[in-house]
């Protein structure tokens, strides 16, 4: 007979969101059970954010050596030991893993069950030889890479974000299917480490980002030798007798074939709902994920869903944000609701691309011509000139009376520079607040003050202002 555990809250999934809920709930005094069959830390630690940024960091070191001559520093070109690069990636994962480990969470008072969990009723799950009956459940099972229906792709096999960081052979020619953030980050990293890279995108690369900003990144990537092909149709994929990939593009008589040593698919993700037996719990879901309300409750009000599996933004920081919403709802019975008006996202190419709030197209759709678009280039920031990082710009969208609607940055450290704009939108600040703070000189952060100040330029230096100044001068 299965052992029965009674709990206040049971979390299914040990990724970033699930771990945040489990740690918080247990430390607040709730009897907490965490169920995870795979690796603790989930996708972010093991296959996503952490390893990809570690690889990008290694690639950036190689790129810095290549352009050191611009600073009067000369030396040999970098020699890349690809297996050692991958050792670095695994070392970074290993250094963070203890924070997400079973031992740490058991030390926090969480009962960890390392089995796959499935619902057997509206208030009970089964995990291995254990049954857990809880007052509240949180489903945090995340998502996984999915592949488009390309003939021959499954038979040929391919890399995903879950397997590419296990590859210890530098690709001669890496073909990437998918021109979104993951595909383009991996494209630049591998190119900088010495691989030839071709990116194939069915629609438009960076299709969800502001085209004015994304164009800067795409220009840099192409200049670094990455071939980015947009609007392509992949007719077939197969492996030849040498093990090389043959990717056929086009249709009919208008076809061509690309040959690559490695193939990475980065063309979308799918929520992990299979095997949970959600029907038994009365939880509704679709192909996009589990249906939730603005309090992250499912159709079974005692079950919450957070992170990727909830079918919305697929970012680690959103999973963490969801965790806080659930803690307030599940433990304190507070009607906390999600607010996505200031969601930030960053693509860690070089230059970085960061956004929050509404982009120009979305703002025009909502407000028509009642908006102001402010831009300022990194080329006019002195710190950027000292480091020869002048490519890019900041773009801010406001209403005519100065309420900040959105911001986008393409340039050095964009992921860090977007922070004050997230705060500004969250707190419903006006542009005057961003224009009035004292920015230390010389810093990249000056660009936020400079773009905010440009809101006032037309009126500040207008004929009316000159008339007022001239008039006041008459009084001594």
Detail the residues annotated as belonging to a binding site. Answer: 53, 117, 141-143, 178-185, 201, 268, 308
C-alpha to C-alpha distance for 204 and 407, rounded to whole angstroms: 21
HSE-CB at 377 with a 13 A cutoff on CA atoms is: 8
Dihedral (Cα; 14, 16, 18, 23), 10-degree rounding: 100
Q: Which residue has the tokens 């340039």?
A: 411
C-alpha to C-alpha distance for 111 and 26, rounded to whole angstroms: 9
CA 1 centroid distance within chain: 44
Q: Which residue has the tokens 């040990």?
A: 14
Measured between alpha carbons, how far is residue 425 from residues 53, 68, 322, 456 in Å?
Answer: 27, 39, 19, 19
The vertex-425 CA angle with 367 and 423, nearest 5°, equals: 170
Contact 167, 86 (CB under 8 A): yes
What are the residues whose beta carbons fall under 8 Å from the beta carbon of 349, sequence distance 6 or more? 184, 185, 188, 217, 220, 221
Contact 394, 406 (CB under 8 A): no
Q: Which residues are annotated as a binding site for FAD?
A: 53, 117, 141-143, 308
Dihedral (Cα; 456, 212, 313, 17), 10-degree rounding: -80
C-alpha to C-alpha distance for 118 and 126, rounded to whole angstroms: 5
Other CB atoms within 10 Å distance of the CB of residue 251: 10
Read off the tokens for 284. 């509704």
C-alpha to C-alpha distance for 12 and 125, rounded to whole angstroms: 9
Q: Which residues are annotated as a binding site for NAD(+)?
A: 178-185, 201, 268
> Nearest to residue 259, comparing CAs of 267, 272, 248, 270?
248
HSE-CB at 224 with a 13 A cutoff on CA atoms is: 32
Read off the tokens for 357. 């709030």
Contact 97, 41 (CB under 8 A): yes
User: Residues 109-141, buried b or exposed e (16+ Cβ, 10 A)?
Assistant: ebbbbeebbbbbeebbbbbeebbbebebbbbbb
C-alpha to C-alpha distance for 78 and 86, rounded to whole angstroms: 16
DSSP code, position 297: B
Q: Which residue has the tokens 């799950």?
A: 125
What's the distance, Cα to Cα, between the start and end of the chain in Å?
Answer: 96
């Amino acid at each position: 007979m299965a052992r029965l555990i009674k709990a206040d809250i049971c979390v299914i999934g040990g990724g970033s969101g699930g771990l945040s809920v489990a740690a918080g709930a247990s430390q607040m005094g709730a009897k907490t059970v965490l169920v995870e069959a795979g690796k603790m830390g989930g996708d972010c630690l093991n296959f996503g954010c952490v390893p990809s940024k570690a690889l990008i960091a290694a690639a950036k070191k190689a790129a810095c050596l290549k352009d050191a001559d611009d600073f009067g520093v000369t030396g040999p070109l970098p020699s890349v030991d690809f297996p050692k690069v991958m050792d670095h990636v695994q070392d970074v994962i290993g250094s963070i893993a203890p924070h997400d480990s079973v031992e740490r969470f058991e030390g926090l008072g969480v009962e960890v069950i390392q089995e796959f969990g499935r619902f057997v009723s509206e208030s009970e799950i089964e995990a291995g030889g254990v049954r857990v009956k809880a007052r509240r459940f949180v489903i945090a099972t995340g998502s996984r890479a999915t592949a488009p229906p390309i003939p021959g792709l499954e038979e040929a096999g391919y890399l995903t974000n879950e397997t590419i960081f296990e590859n210890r052979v530098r690709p001669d020619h890496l073909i990437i299917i998918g021109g979104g953030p993951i595909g383009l980050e991996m494209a630049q990293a591998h190119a900088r480490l010495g691989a030839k890279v071709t990116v194939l995108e069915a629609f438009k690369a960076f299709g969800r980002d502001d085209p004015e900003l994304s164009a800067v990144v795409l220009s840099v990537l192409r200049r670094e030798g990455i071939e980015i092909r947009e609007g392509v149709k992949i007719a077939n994929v197969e492996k030849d007798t040498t093990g090389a990939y043959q990717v056929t593009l086009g249709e009919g008589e208008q076809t061509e074939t690309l040959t690559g040593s490695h193939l990475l698919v980065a063309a979308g993700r799918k929520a992990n709902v299979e095997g949970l037996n959600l029907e038994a719990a009365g939880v509704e879901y679709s192909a996009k994920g589990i249906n939730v309300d603005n309090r992250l409750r499912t159709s079974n009000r005692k079950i919450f869903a957070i992170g990727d599996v909830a079918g919305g933004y697929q970012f680690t920081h959103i999973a963490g944000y969801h965790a806080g919403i659930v803690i307030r709802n599940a433990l304190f019975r507070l009607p906390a609701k999600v607010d996505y008006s200031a969601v930030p996202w960053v693509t860690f190419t070089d230059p970085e691309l960061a956004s929050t709030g509404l982009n120009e197209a979305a703002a025009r759709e909502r407000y028509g011509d009642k908006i102001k678009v402010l831009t300022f280039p990194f080329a006019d920031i002195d710190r950027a000139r000292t480091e020869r990082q002048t490519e890019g710009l900041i773009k801010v969208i406001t209403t005519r009376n100065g309420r900040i609607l959105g911001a986008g940055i393409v340039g050095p450290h964009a992921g860090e520079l977007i922070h004050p704009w997230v705060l500004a939108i969250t707190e419903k600040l006006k542009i005057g607040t961003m224009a009035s703070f004292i920015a230390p000189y010389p810093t990249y952060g000056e660009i936020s003050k400079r773009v905010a100040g440009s809101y006032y330029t037309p009126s500040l230096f207008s004929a009316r202002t000159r008339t007022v100044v001239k008039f006041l001068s008459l009084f001594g």
